[in-house]
Amino acid sequence: MPWPSRKRDKGAVADKKEPDAKMAKTEEETEDKEEEEKSTKPPAGSSKSGWKNWKKAKESDSGGEESKITYCHWLLKSEPESRLEKGVDVKFSIEDLKAQPNQTTFWEGVRNYQARNFLRAMKLGQQAFFYHSNCKEPGIVGIVKIVKEAYPDHTQFDQKDPHYDSSSRKENPKWSMVDVQFVRMTKRFIPLSEIKTHHLAHKADGGPLKNMMLFSRQRLSIQPLTQEEFDFVLSLEEEKPH
């Protein structure tokens, strides 16, 4: 059995290296309203962040056509350093995932409605970044894939679990989880600080990271990514660290 409730749940803990998002380690009690993301194509433009060259390469690969923006990838936050929550250590790094049978585990303990809805939207085979959070140097360390779509999170019914929810009923569970499997490590660690530099540049010139939820919804432990966001961030593993 994997460690109980070790993921970044509740979408509440801000990354230590992100000064603009100082938050309490507790869940927002009010339900997040579902937000519809409008599909928009990023405008052309140059960028010191490397967006212009990346965009040219992608257009060449796709015959110059820009794909419609949809959320088809994910970013999953987990804590690689020990932290007790109601007496339970919620630490779970990508190395812990690799140590699981078949390098697979269930992603339980999410207690934020919007994050839960994102879990329920995940499709078999979709890939996600594994993101180390609430640590000295937060950032992306690897890639996982969804190997089982959403089903009831059993920890909501376990009174000994720190994420027990007395208001949830087995006939109508409030919380869900998915199963994920390790795919590979990224070729290098991609720190939050580097992603933020590109995000700020893209906000100015219309690059793919301009609306990245990592910076607009920092509390969420489960975040969707567009194809362009995923591809651009993944391309950073080929670059030398700044």
**pLDDT score of 15:** 63
Each residue's pLDDT tens digit, 59-108: 555 444 444 558 999 999 999 999 999 899 999 999 999 999 999 999 99
Residue 11 has pLDDT above 90, yes or no: no
Q: How far is CA 90 from the centre of its chain?
A: 17
| C-beta neighbour count of 43 within 10 angstroms | 9
Tens digits of residue pLDDT in 96-105: 999 999 999 9
Q: What are the structural domains, with CATH classification, of the chain?
A: 69-234 (3.10.590.10)
Whether 210 has a pLDDT exceeding 90, the answer reads yes
Confidence check: pLDDT of 236 > 80: yes
Q: Which of 19-28, 53-62, 65-74 has the lowest mean pLDDT?
A: 19-28
- pLDDT computed for residue 64 by the predictor: 46
pLDDT at 53 over 50: yes
Query: Is the CA virtual torsion 113, 134, 218, 70 positive or negative?
Result: negative
Closest CA to 14 of 2, 28, 34: 28
More confident residue, 138 or 50: 138
Q: Residue 221 CB: number of other CB atoms within 10 A?
A: 27
pLDDT greater than 90 at residue 25: no
- Taking 3-state DSSP, the helix, strand and coil percentages for the chain, each rounded to the nearest 5, stand at 25, 25, 50
Q: Looking at per-residue confidence, does 173 or 52 come out higher?
A: 173
DSSP string, 158-214: -TTSTT--TT-BTTB-S-EEEEEEEEEEEEEEEEHHHHHHHHHHHHHHT-TTTT-HH
| Single-letter amino acid, residue 207 | G
Mean pLDDT rounded to a whole number for the chain: 82
Task: Please say if the pLDDT value at position 8 is more than 80.
Answer: no
pTM: 0.77
In order of 3, 4, 172, 174, 202, the CA distances from 8 in angstroms are 13, 12, 24, 18, 27
The pLDDT value given to residue 171: 96
Residue percentage of the chain with pLDDT more than 70: 71
Q: Which residue has the tokens 């993101």?
A: 131
Report the alpha-carbon distance of residue 165 to residue 161 in Å, rounded.
Answer: 9
Element (H, E) at 152: strand 139-152
Interior CA angle at 23 toward 80 and 90, to 5°? Answer: 30
